[in-house]
Amino acid sequence: MSEASHRRHRIQIALPIRVRGMSSEQKFFDETTETALVSDHEVMTRLSQPVELEAEVHLTSLKTEEAGIYRVIWVNRKARDGRHDVGLELVESEASLWRMEFPPAAGPGEETIARASLVCAQCGGKELSAVPEAEEEFLSDGFVIARPCETCKSTTEWLYAPETPAAEAPTAGAGREGPELRGKGRAPMRVHIKIIRKLYGSSLEEVCETENVSRTGAYFYSSIAYQPGDRVEVILPYRDGDVAIPVPARVVRAAPVKRGSPHGVAIHLEKSEH
């Protein structure tokens, strides 16, 4: 599938699905889960079973009862809450699985595509690359994708190198040309955000100011050294004296933008289990 087709608009929606296939341990699995994002040709979901890149799985929509064959285009081998984030691309289906209309793809200059520093698992070569196959919030430690390698002269596994893209995250007003590349739908917005992190039985709190915000996340600067994968709770926007329920979130990037400077922190807002 071409890069252009990868850029079709994806919708954040939880739809019940059934996924069947072979795990990376060569064991058959039959699992009921739900989508995280969908488009007419792509699904992003979470599986309790680790799967291999390029493996094919059978996916059934439990809402429409339509089914199709999908190929694994990326996977996070590091489980989060016992599940692995997985990106799937449609190979074959007899009908639309979702029976829903998808917004048209963004026009030239309107879309923003996640970028990541990737390292070839075979030769160790590195490159900063656009990753249209995944949204920015899925790029974290353990992310693996198949890409052609000019050095190896073959398609190899490329691993996400979290420290590099975080260090290169642009500051507001930096004057970069072109669209902001941290993720879709991000808008420069300075509002207060309260971050609550539980550590060793204690709650650590801080109030920061965002640099940009989207419907699924935010980017801010902090003097605290967060780590990708850290679980926090946030109140966004935060106003002193207001009563608000914190929302669970996960740190997807965290590193000093420059040596000795505050850490640039990107968080992905997650659905509350309450």
CATH no., domain 9-93: 2.40.10.220
Q: How far is it, in rounded angstroms, from Cα 36 to Cα 43?
A: 8
Query: Buried b vs exposed e over 213-230: b needs ≥16 C-beta within 10 Å?
Result: bbebbbbbbbeeebebeb
- The first and second tokens of residue 198, run together, are 């539980």
Least confident of 87-91, 105-109, 135-139, 236-240: 105-109
pTM: 0.59
Higher pLDDT, 107 or 31: 31
- The CATH code of the domain at 187-269 is 2.40.10.220
Q: Would the CATH topology of 9-93 be identical to that of 187-269?
A: yes
The CA distance from 17 to 19, in Å, is 6
The whole-chain average pLDDT of the chain stands at: 80
**Domain extents in the chain:** 9-93, 115-165, 187-269
Cα separation values, 146 from 23, 87, 117, Å: 17, 12, 14
Ordered DSSP codes for 181-244: -SSTT-EE---EEEEEEEETTEEEEEEEEEEEE-SSEEEEEESS---TT-EEEEESS--TT---
